[in-house]
Structure 1
Amino acid sequence: PLRYLLANGRSARLHELSDLRGEPWLVASELRFEARDALLLRAAPVDEGYLRRHWPERFVTEDAVRWDDTRRALVALRETRFDRIVMDSRSAGRVDPQLAAQALTDAVAELGLQALPWTEGLRQWQARVESLRRWMPELGLPDCSDAALLANRAQWLQPAFAGRTRLDALDETSFGEALKSPLEWSQRQLVERHAPTRITVPSGLERPITYALDGESGEPLPPVLAVKLQELFGLADTPRIADGRVPLTLHLLSPGGRPLQVTQDLRNFWENTYAEVKKEMKGRYPRHPWPDDPWTATATHRAKPRGT
């Protein structure tokens, strides 16, 4: 009896000692807007019949599709409203497919992008695009940050919901195609070229590059290549991406996969740090090569044969 819905969709409340408590309709002439809702400072009761006679065009009955968070699905409703004040709402049966895609897209705006079927690969793709937008702005890649994706959801996400009435009906493949749709084919090829997912190291094997964005600023963090130290023998300089503008951050690993050194200056590591690492690790991993001269040694991912 103290809470009301305003015609603009916001909520308002009466003071608990108000004489207007329980009136079905009020005209609010003075409001104090607050963070959660508004306080009705001055209002007067009004008859619904009076409103219908003078503003019949503001009373509408139409079908709507809403997101039901409890059922995690859409529901079809037939609503009677005065502006955004819902006076009556009842089931309308089957969800209209034409309204479903927009309703699901709106649900994502409410629930957040985490409601979509992200994979680690898709988050990596997003980080690669956003990183290249900072590293190589001349490529003209579109904004794929979370904020931009939400703001432009009608363009890229809504078509993917066509024919679906549930959020979980959108599979990872369809979501991935929708996510990448703002990029033309030529732009996608530029992402693959300048921010590759893998790189071939001197051992002859391909190793993954990991990309990430700062959680607060959205700025790209240095891309990481985690690789066993022995696989880089003979390599003098740190590998680079983005047309040579960005060095990889090397996580040099022991034969057991534990980090021995983090560096963006491989040459300096070989010259000044390798000897100490070799001294400490040679006894722990005797079956793996620890040559005196890493510049000329053969890169390998294998241990030495037993008995050698």
Structure 2
Amino acid sequence: HLWISILFCFLYGISMVGNSVILFIIKTDPNSSLHEPMYIFLSMLAVTDLGVLISTMPTILGIYLFNFREISLDVCLAQLFFIPLLQCTGSCILLLMAFDRFIAICNPLRYASILTLPRIAKMGLVAVLRSVVIIFPLPFLLKRFRYCRPNVLSHSYCLFQEVMKLACSDITVNNIYGLFAKLLTMGLDSLLIFFSYVMILKTVLSVVSHAEYLRALNTCVSHLCAVLLFYTPDISLSMIHRFGNSSSLLIRIILSYISLLFPPLMNPVVYSVKSKHLRVRIIRIFIK
């Protein structure tokens, strides 16, 4: 696993540095250009991405670097809490970023009065609390089971759908609650994001000027990329685990790595490329 371990170390290193740089630049920006709501939400997203990396790094790198293939039940349950919690929080932050773009394009005159700093802080707190309330029962639902089958996981971290199938008891309640939690968080968030972009597109199409039309759509490109990177592999993996029992194990493993590592890796790249203010600040840091 030498070459795979080098690849994972590289991905983790780039992702950690990229998100840390985003946070550092937004926090230390001397001007007010990076203190707008869009960048505050981006810093929240960077924090959740760092949390996902830290939660998965010990087991993934432990396997590929040191061939350490055992995990205790308590550590496994901790991963089963923190990874979904951070992913659900990230999903809600993407929804808040869609709301930010909706207000900026559909009601620009009231943008500053609607998205004030206290209100943004409350929105971020609600995102975290919602995720805690929904995800908190998951580890306890699994801890009450007795595991008498071979406790072998195919993924490099504890995944709720996979650990649940190792139990010797009836898992119907867990299966229903897990699906309910997924639909209530990522399913609902993705639906609301879709509706917000329908409204944005409706507003943009009513703009007479072609230049303004393109400028408005250009502000949404980076967020759309982040949404696709986040939801596509995660929802695909969840559906495969629940309904695709005949699917290839390799496909599941690849999708799991993509859903965990690609969003933290690509989000800083996408926003740095599309945001002029971020790009200028990053270039200044490296030039100095």
Normalised to the residue count of structure 2, the TM-score between the two structures is: 0.23
| Higher strand residue share | 1
- Which structure's relative contact order is higher, taking Cα pairs within 8 Å and 6+ residues apart? 2
- TM-score normalised by length of structure 1: 0.22
- Would you tell me which structure has more helix in proportion to its own residues? 2
Please identify the structure whose Cα radius of gyration is greater: 1
